Structure 1
């Protein structure tokens, strides 16, 4: 998830790219995470954690002098946990992974 240190690092990169005169800026930010643990009954107990600060962060990048032009998202699977079900056949599955946001900015037009 987007920590304060990571946000500061990415904002620093945005400022440096703007100072250099780069026409485009591309940032990658984890926007949510799928976690969970198998229950004692063998069922899935998934939980989706949202990163509520992404919108604020993107606004801060625009304040540097960039304009958001394109976004893309991908689920990055990091595995699963399975467990046998107690009362029935089969297994319970808990998936793990993160949704990555890819944000492309164009240098804002100067007036």
Structure 2
């Protein structure tokens, strides 16, 4: 789940869009982070740290009156470290940055009585 201030901001945005009568809502949320460490041998080890609470956050958006229509992801590189390999076989690279989820919600159909 996004940090508390960001979650509150996104949920307020979802509520305002629903109250305005918008048909669609688009949210960007960081869903994971790629990190890692180089080594003195020049090798690299990348690892991904997922945000296991993303579904919990998305369910809050749906409780406002939205239904998830489409989701996509992209990696946003914010930095990288390289180190020369000992045996001259190139470089080890460690990338860093968030994996951002792009979520499109459609207004949920009003329940019929």
- What is the TM-score normalised by the length of structure 2? 0.89
Q: What is the deviation of 1:64?
A: 0.4
Q: What is the deviation of 1:9?
A: 1.0
Q: How many residues matched?
A: 110
- Taking only aligned residues, the RMSD between alpha carbons, in angstroms, comes to 1.4
SS of 1:109's equivalent?
coil
Cα distance between partner residues in 2 of 1:60 and 1:94: 35
Q: What is the deviation of 1:91?
A: 1.6
Q: Is there any run of 5+ residues in structure 2 with no aligned partner, and where?
A: none
Cα distance between partner residues in 2 of 1:36 and 1:2: 21
1:97 matches 2:89: no
SS of 2:15's equivalent?
helix
Q: Is there any run of 5+ residues in structure 1 with no aligned partner, and where?
A: none
- What is the TM-score normalised by the length of structure 1? 0.91
Q: 1:1-111 maps to which residues of 2 (within 5 A)?
A: 2-86=2-86, 88-89=87-88, 90-111=90-111
Cα distance between partner residues in 2 of 1:59 and 1:39: 41
Q: Deviations over 1:5-57 (max 9, x none)?
A: 21111011101111111111100011111111212222102121111111000
